[in-house]
């Protein structure tokens, strides 16, 4: 195999960006577009919360698989930053640019109502402190409480619709793939999808709902995730450059992993959109 050049990387990067930024789930997500309007009622917010909790909880499994299948120690540690943070290890601030893997970094608020503006967004789990309440799932449980959802209502496979479970299983299969090129493509796709604005659309809708009928609803989970995504996406650019020059890197597999993963993401949101349309039809009837 001929040695790859930085020109090859620039060309490949263009192909990847075109694939991700033109994918329907990034360009035109009907559900989040509607949700941003703020017209979701209590049942619709509950349904979103439950399905999101299933994805968010089962994502931990896919992240563990990604860590176990990592191609090298650096990506193993980058993956662990995200995994441990999801589980409740609070990020410890480090000196800026100290060479710490910054991907997935940030400080999880441990209390409800912590202002995401005042918790840092750079750091590492190395030497960080574990707190039960800092686990993202527990954070989502605290969001669910004021809308009547308890531990037993959220985060289990049994709570997922067929389309939600399809997405979760695609995460395990592609994002957690044993083939590093496929997994890296999926990872790039997931991070760039997440940075493309869906958190902001959900926050807009949830803010309207909170003001209208549930003032005690804590939005920290959503706001913090939105803040961290821009960094994640920026780090994937560095990771792509690193992966690209690995001798075993396979461009086609990377592109396929990215495309299939986005199809999985799309299935999740399309499922929510179909449920919404069916719900509204029942209510109009």
Residue 126: phi and psi, rounded to 5, are -65, 115
Residue 138, class by beta-carbon neighbours within 10 Å (0-12 exposed, 13-18 middle, 19+ buried)? middle
Q: Of 86 and 201, which CB lies nearer to Fe ion in the complex structure? A: 86
Please give the DSSP secondary-structure letter assigned to residue 116.
Answer: T
- Name the nearest CA neighbour of 87 among 113, 56, 47: 56
Q: Of 52 and 254, which CB lies nearer to Fe ion in the complex structure? A: 52
- Reading the block at residue 222, the tokens are 């959503």
Min CB(162)–Fe ion separation in Å: 23
Q: Of 136 and 266, which CB lies nearer to Fe ion in the complex structure? A: 136
Q: Which stretch binds Fe ion (CB under 5 A): 19-27, 88-96, 110-118, 129-137?
A: 129-137
Which residue reads 């999740």 in tokens?
A: 268
Residues 140 to 159 in contact with Fe ion, rule: CB under 5 A: none
Min CB(228)–Fe ion separation in Å: 8
When binding is defined by CB under 5 A, the residue of 23, 77, 136, 253 that contacts Fe ion is: 136
Min CB(230)–Fe ion separation in Å: 15
Min CB(86)–Fe ion separation in Å: 5
Q: What share of the chain is helix, strand, coil (3-state, %, to 5)?
A: 70, 5, 30
Q: Of 80 and 136, which CB lies nearer to Fe ion in the complex structure? A: 136
Q: Of 66 and 136, which CB lies nearer to Fe ion in the complex structure? A: 136
Told to check if 232 binds Fe ion by CB under 5 A, we report no
Ranked by CB distance to Fe ion, the top (closest) residue is 136
Min CB(174)–Fe ion separation in Å: 19
Which residue reads 């990387």 in tokens?
A: 9
* CA 204 – CA 49 distance, rounded (Å): 15
- Reading the block at residue 178, the tokens are 């044993």
Min CB(59)–Fe ion separation in Å: 7
Residue 10, class by beta-carbon neighbours within 10 Å (0-12 exposed, 13-18 middle, 19+ buried)? exposed
Q: Which stretch binds Fe ion (CB under 5 A): 45-53, 136-144, 168-176, 275-283?
A: 136-144
- 3-state class (DSSP) for residue 24: helix
- Kindly calculate the radius of gyration of the chain based on its CA atoms and give it in whole angstroms: 19
Q: Which stretch binds Fe ion (CB under 5 A): 31-39, 131-139, 159-167, 231-239?
A: 131-139
Dihedral class, residue 29 (left if φ above 0, else alpha if ψ from -120 to 50, else beta): beta
Size of the site for Fe ion (CB under 5 A): 1
Q: Which stretch binds Fe ion (CB under 5 A): 133-141, 193-201, 246-254, 256-264?
A: 133-141
Q: Which stretch binds Fe ion (CB under 5 A): 14-22, 37-45, 128-136, 169-177?
A: 128-136
Min CB(203)–Fe ion separation in Å: 15
On whether the CB atoms of residues 69 and 176 are closer than 8 A, the answer is: yes
Footprint of Fe ion (CB under 5 A):
136
């Amino acid at each position: 195999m001929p040695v790859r050049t930085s020109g090859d990387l620039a060309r490949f990067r263009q192909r990847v960006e075109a694939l991700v930024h033109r994918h329907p789930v990034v360009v035109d997500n009907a559900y989040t577009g509607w949700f941003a309007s703020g017209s979701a009622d209590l049942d619709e917010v509950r349904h979103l919360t439950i399905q999101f909790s299933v994805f968010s909880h089962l994502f931990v499994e896919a992240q563990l698989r990604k860590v176990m299948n990592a191609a090298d120690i650096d990506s193993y540690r980058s993956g662990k930053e995200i995994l441990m943070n999801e589980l409740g290890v609070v990020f410890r601030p480090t000196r800026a640019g100290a060479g710490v893997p910054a991907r997935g970094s940030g400080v999880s608020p441990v209390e409800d109502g912590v202002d995401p503006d005042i918790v840092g967004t750079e750091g590492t789990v190395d030497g960080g402190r574990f707190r039960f309440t800092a686990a993202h799932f527990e954070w989502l449980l605290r969001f669910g409480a004021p809308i009547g959802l308890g531990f037993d209502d959220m985060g289990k496979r049994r709570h997922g619709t067929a389309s939600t479970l399809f997405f979760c299983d695609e995460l395990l299969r592609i994002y957690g793939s044993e083939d590093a090129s496929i997994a890296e493509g999926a990872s790039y796709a997931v991070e760039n999808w997440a940075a493309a604005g869906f958190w902001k659309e959900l926050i807009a809708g949830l803010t309207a709902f909170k003001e209208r009928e549930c003032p005690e609803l804590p939005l920290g989970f959503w706001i913090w995730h939105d803040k961290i995504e821009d960094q994640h996406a920026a780090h994937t650019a560095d990771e792509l450059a690193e992966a690209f020059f690995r001798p075993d890197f396979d461009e086609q597999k990377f592109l396929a992993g990215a495309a299939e993963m986005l199809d999985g993401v799309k299935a999740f949101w399309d499922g929510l959109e179909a449920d919404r349309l069916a719900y509204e039809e029942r209510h109009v009837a």
